[in-house]
Structures are given as C-alpha cells and as structure tokens.
Amino acid sequence: MTTFRQEAGYSDGRRPDDVFFVRDVREDLARRDFTINAMAAGADGKIVDPFGGMDDLQARRLRAVGEPARRFDEDALRIVRCVRFAARYGLAIDAPTWAGVLACRDKLRLVAMERIGAELDKMMAAGDPGRAFGLLLAASLPERFKLPLPEGWLAQLRRIEASSAGAGETTTRTASSSRSGLSRYLPETADADLRWAALILAGAAAPEEAEAVMKRLHFAGKRIRRISDIVRLHLSIAALTDPADWRGGWTIGVLDRGLEAAADWRTLFGAQALRAAFDVPAELHAAAAGWTADMPAVRIADLAIRGDELASAADNPPGPWIAIALRRLLEQVALGELDNDKETLKSAFLNAHRKRLK
C-alpha cells in the first residue's frame, strides 16, 4: 500500500530533493525504475499498467520506464539492479535500456559500497549469477564503483568471459537466453558464500585480494572469514601435485582452516562439473571426508595435554613457545604419527625440547 507521490531533483544521485503527493497512481508509477515494477492493483483487483509491464513480462524483456538515462540519473544503483533483474528472471535487456546503462555508468561512483555489496550479494544468491557478473563486466561497471574491485581479478574473469561462445556480441550478452562463461565456475547451490568463493577462485585472486573484494563490499567479518578460509584451503590443496601428498596436505589444511571450511570445500566441489572446471581430482574429493573423519584431533583443545602441563614438564615459564609446541603435537596426532594420550604427548614434546637445547 502506498501514498501516491512524485519526486524531483536527485542532486546526490539517490534521494529526491523534493517530494510531493499526487492523486493519480499513474503519476506515482511514472517514477519507478522498470516497467515490470511499475504496475499496481486497486482494491477491486484491477491491474493498473500504464507502461506495458505485463507485455514486457510475457516477452521476457527488461525495459526502463520512460527515458532510461533519466531513471538511472535518479538513482545510479538502478544500473546494477538492471543487471540483477535480467539475470535473476531470465530477461533480455532492451537496447535503449542497455544504452542508458552505458551512458550513466560513471554515476556509480556516487553509490555507497554498502548498497553495491547488497545488490551483488542478491545476484549471488539468485538464479544464474554467472550471467549477472558477465553483464557487469560487459558494461565495465566494477571499475566505476566508488571503491573499484581488484583489477587483476576482474581481468581474469574477463578472460573467462571472452573465451565463451558469442561473448563479444552485446546482443548475446543482454539476451535472456545467453549463458555466461563464468556460469561453469559457479555452483548451482544458492549459498552465496560458496558462490563468492568460487568466483574469487575463478578470477585467480590471491587471498589478500579476495579479502579486499569482500571488505570493499562491506561483508560482515564472519562471512569474510568463511569465504577466505574456503579460498585458502583450496589454494593449499591445488598446490598438491603428487597424490602421495594429498592426505597429509588435506590434514594440515583442515588444521589451518577448520572443519567448517573443509565441509564447505567438499560441498562446493560436490558436482563433477565444478571439479572439472577447477581441476579438482575426483579421487581426492571422494577421500577427503574419510580423511577428516579419521583425524583423532582437529583443534588444540582436542589434545590430551594442556599448555601449562608442557610448561611444567619443561620447567619453563609460559610464553609463545607453548602455542608452537601444541601446534606441532596437534599435527603429529592428526597425521597419525602420535597417539593422543598425555604420556605419549609429553614424552614426544620433551624429546623434541631436549634436541632443541643441544
């Protein structure tokens, strides 16, 4: 339900300078972004559709209300929403609307990164995020954000897009039936964090670049840690070229990144298509769950000995050395080199400690 109104002047590229109320719903609908969002229903159920939104829906077409440049000038975030709606609902962007996107894209510098991040997150959680990011890249939008995203990462995503069939044609990019080259790198799951991790990996971003992407988009710290852990775990596993090193490398990776990251990695690469896209050996993926289940300890707290007991056994005051010693014991237990009982761990620690003193 709404009070009908019109707006005038958008000096900050988002909020109207003036708002005044009107009596005709058609005047209210005239300020909306796209025709599919410019429809209303009266109390009698009658649809008011002055701009042909129903026809556009049936034609699977996304079209701005009136002059596209004027709509995008009112709020530049509508440029990104245009991409999201097209990908989410499988709509073709009509030519004048796409031209308006290109003409007004520099105004994205006025949009707060929190709002950009929220839109991109909605893209990642909805249908065909690969096409959404393909359209963003086709229009060179990420470079125009208030805080541009890392260029090296974007360049690699563009190379993927360029390698897909028909990627060079604007009509293919904007058509509802187009399939982005990035789509093969993104899982079908609607878990946005897993999709973000996959997109970051597809762009060959270093962990520091990945965290820069997420911080610029104002992700919560917990999400940044989750996505970063998946990325770092995968990079450590991808470096294992000898199958003989798989189990040990996986075990250390789980110790470094935790059980949640291990479960996320297995979920992310559960589909054969994703394993093929990222060259993940099926045998490694199949064995990973069993290797994790067989680990006697995955956290320092799982060890049968405490830090103060090591300090007492070594007759040394507590200090940073305790964390180092406990981590080494944890690795030995997790790799099956030591049994997880107090006397065994104390003996192994003291032997190593005496060797360091010599």
Mean pLDDT value across the chain: 89
For the chain, what is the total number of helices (H) and then of strands (E)? Answer: 19, 6
Q: Which amino acid is at 288?
A: A
Residue pair 132/195 in contact (Cβ under 8 Å)? The answer is: no
Q: What CA–CA distance (Å, rounded) separates 130 from 239?
A: 26
Q: For 147-161, 175-189, 192-206, which range has the lowest pLDDT when averaged over its residues?
A: 175-189
300-316 residue pLDDT tens: 999 999 999 999 998 88
pLDDT score recorded for residue 2: 64
What's the rounded mean pLDDT across residues 130-159?
A: 94
pLDDT at 171 over 90: no
Mean pLDDT calculated for residue range 180-201: 92
C-alpha span between 195 and 231 (Å, rounded): 11
- Looking at residue 170, what is its pLDDT? 44
Q: Read off the pLDDT of residues 220-229 as tens digits, 9 standing for 90 and up.
A: 999 999 999 9
Evaluate if residue 7 carries a pLDDT over 90.
no
The conformation of residue 40, written as its DSSP 8-state character, comes to: E
Domains of the chain: 5-219 (1.10.110.30), 300-357 (1.10.246.80)
d(CA 164, CA 146): 29
Smallest Cα–Cα separation from 58: which of 81, 39, 78, 31?
Answer: 39
Confidence of residue 5 (pLDDT cuts 50, 70, 90): low
User: Within a 10 A sphere around the Cβ of 37, how many other Cβ atoms?
Assistant: 14
Higher pLDDT, residue 60 or 165: 60
Q: Which residue has the higher pLDDT, 7 or 307?
A: 307
pLDDT of the residue at 169: 45
pLDDT-derived band at 43 (thresholds 50, 70, 90) equals: confident
